[in-house]
Amino acid sequence: MYHADSAACLLRDGKIVAAVEEERFVRRKHWVGFPHQAFAYCLEEAGAELSDLDHIAINSDPTANFTRKLLFIIKKRPHWSLIKEKLTARTRRRDMREHLERFFPNQRFRGHVHRVEHHLAHLNSSFHASSFNRAVVVSVDGFGDFSSCAWGTGEEGRVHRKHQVLFPHSLGVFYEAMTQYLGFNQYGDEYKLMGLAAYGSPMPDLGMDQLLRPEPEGLFSLNLEFFHHHRYPIGYEWAGGQPEVSQLFSTELERLLGPKRMPEEEISAHHRNIAATTQDLYERALFRLLNAAATQVDTKNLCLAGGCAQNSVANGKVRSHTPFRNLFVQPAAGDAGGALGAAWHVWHQQARGSAGSAMPHSYWGPEYSRDQVEQRLAVHQHALREAGCRVTEITDAHDLCTRVATGIDSGKIVGWFHGRMEWGPRALGNRSILADPRRADMRESLNRKIKQREEFRPFAPAILREAVAEWFDVDFEVPFMTEVYAVKQGKRALIPAVVHQDGSGRIQTVDRVVNPLFHGLIEAFFARTGIPMVLNTSFNEHEPIVCSPDDALHCFLRTGMDILVMGSFVVESGSTQDLK
């Protein structure tokens, strides 16, 4: 709750009622601080007030590993600013009851407040969201509560931690430092390195293997000569609003690899190879950890959590590089998901091991009624008229899907807004931008005109669950777009807009029962084209994914999309031909 990606969720009898990130309301990515709007939404969705809550769980415990913090300071003698960061974490944060009095002055909370250690929350978030009765559970990220990695087992409704990696050693910091070195300096830019890696080749002669060192029990350590984070504060934990991260790597890294890439500098083959080598080193360290865990626990089930669990390329290799055959990655695997993990941890403690529920879908955010959408369209009617847009309503779901599929087939870019908003960083068919995966120029067009981002950034295919085996080298559900798999050799040329440089795709399987309207749209496109998928990317432009109808309308008008669908309403831009 106090790291980046601040979020809130609400459980009733162990089942999710609502879950949402604060950034969706404040419209600033990776928001840090008390998530009061997300908190208020969860109460509203549950029809509850503060007095109805029995427990509040926070996914951070400043007292965790406190002795280790003191030993580190005594032995390493870091800069005074880092000492201040590690020893005054509690005083930097308001008491929970103080937050509640500030943001909910007319309500009173009478329950208990629980602090749950960061990685314990991550582990719980993934295990309890899965459908596994028993699994190895692994959390890997930057840092939280003086730890960067933990693993253990989940069984009988409880998580048992076995090992952890403490500050200053971190796979997340390694990956983030290399992301910064490559000129991607914003917090959360690691996915850019992951995308760029497909364009390069791992290069052992770069000498980068000395950055990461294997340790017993499958663990790892950093060669600290190449890093700064153990001397100076990183900065993202307490920055107000959007996080800012100081430079994590030292001058030794530039001596090894050459000068860091500046953000405006052209990306060279050298940079692409560094990205590929970084991804390779991360994967080797991760798989070594997973293989060691597999020897100690008799199960083929694996749950991943933490920010590094969003590395979908590595996730897609788990089954081929480890003994695990069943993988679950929670859709909000990063720090936002810690809110859910903390809540589940406390619920299972209080319920004395009673089983909760798995996560059947990711749609736990706000939803807007037909009348609410119509009212916001009326408010924006002048801007829509000025842009030459027309608005129609199509109440029959089949007709709506056919109409939109016709537009996608003709090359139109569609903003697709319906139902409850997704939980996590991926748009999964309720707050999405959709396009034709067959068009080779669609990726460039979207990156340049709509998303305004780097040309190498890939897009994902949302595919009918029943068609997966025909198009990919796997045949199982990947509902949260958390894994990358190879597209069948003979199919790649048919869907160039969603195939990565290496022939893979980050798939989202769409189930008829879970999301019938989105499934119906893809079915309609399949009926017209013989392609059982659409290109799916997040509905946003350098901002959090849209939450409200106002957000959707602003993004639609600003970016020049062709069609906006909000519930039963269809908004067509002035340049869009009649699709009937």
Could you tell me the CATH number of the domain that includes residue 31? Answer: 3.30.420.40
Residue 158 lies in a domain: no
Q: Note whether 185 and 306 are same-domain residues.
A: yes
Q: Note whether 205 and 98 are same-domain residues.
A: no
Over 90: is that where the pLDDT of 74 sits?
Answer: no
Q: Note whether 283 and 419 are same-domain residues.
A: no
Residue 399 lies in a domain: yes
Q: Note whether 392 and 473 are same-domain residues.
A: yes
Beta carbons within 10 angstroms of residue 538's beta carbon: 21
Mean pLDDT of 203-227: 96
Structural domain count, the chain: 3
**Residue 454 or 192, more confident:** 192
Q: Note whether 47 and 98 are same-domain residues.
A: yes
What is the identity of the amino acid at 375?
Q
For residue 280, give its domain range.
171-329
Mean pLDDT of 217-225: 96
> So what's the pLDDT on residue 502?
94
> So what's the pLDDT on residue 524?
98
Over 80: is that where the pLDDT of 164 sits?
Answer: yes
Over 90: is that where the pLDDT of 64 sits?
Answer: no
Dig out the tokens for 199 from the structure. Answer: 């364009």
Domain endpoint, select from 291, 318, 350? 350
Q: Note whether 277 and 396 are same-domain residues.
A: no
Q: Note whether 396 and 282 are same-domain residues.
A: no
Burial 212-235 (b: 16+ CB within 10 A, else e): beeeeebbbebebebbbbbebbbe
> So what's the pLDDT on residue 241?
63
State the angle between helix axes of 171-181 and 190-197 in degrees (0 to 180), rounded to the nearest 10. 80
Residue 146 lies in a domain: no
Q: Give me the long-range contacts of 247-252 (CB less than 8 A, separation at least 24).
A: 247/180, 248/173, 248/176, 248/177, 248/180, 249/177, 249/178, 249/180, 249/181, 250/225, 250/226, 252/225, 252/226
pLDDT tens, position by position, 105-124: 999 999 999 999 999 999 99
Residue 364 lies in a domain: no
> So what's the pLDDT on residue 580?
42
User: Rounded to an integer, what distance in angstroms lies between the CA atom of residue 548 and that of residue 330?
Assistant: 24
